């Protein structure tokens, strides 16, 4: 499963501002429309509900830092 890149987030933001539907945006970035829908829902501004690419990228990076890291067991552990 590949993550959405920063440039794809910028494309989503621009196309939403121009009034494109999520299915057209999905075709443009090469993802499924459910991925675009989930991205907009998860990373939109909580107050205004507007999707902004820079805010979405910051939220993504914060979630990645908080995520539990996989511990690999070896002979020392």
**76 in any annotated domain:** no
What single-letter DSSP state applies at residue 47? T
pLDDT in tens, 8-59: 999 999 999 999 999 999 999 999 999 999 999 999 998 999 999 999 999 9
The helix (run of H) or strand (run of E) holding residue 23 is: helix 22-29
Judge residue 22's burial from the number of C-beta atoms within 10 Å of its C-beta, 0-12 exposed, 13-18 middle, 19 or more buried: middle
Residue 75 or 48, more confident: 48
**72 in any annotated domain:** no
**71 in any annotated domain:** no
Distance between CA atoms of residues 58 and 62, nearest Å: 6
What is the count of structural domains for the chain?
1
């Amino acid at each position: 499963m590949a993550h959405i890149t920063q440039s794809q987030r910028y494309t989503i933001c621009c196309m939403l501002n121009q009034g494109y539907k999520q299915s057209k945006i999905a075709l443009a970035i090469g993802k499924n429309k459910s991925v675009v829908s989930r991205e907009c829902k998860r990373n939109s501004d909580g107050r205004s509900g507007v999707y902004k690419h820079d805010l979405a990228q910051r939220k993504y990076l914060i979630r990645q830092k908080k995520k539990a890291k996989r511990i690999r067991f070896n002979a020392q552990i």
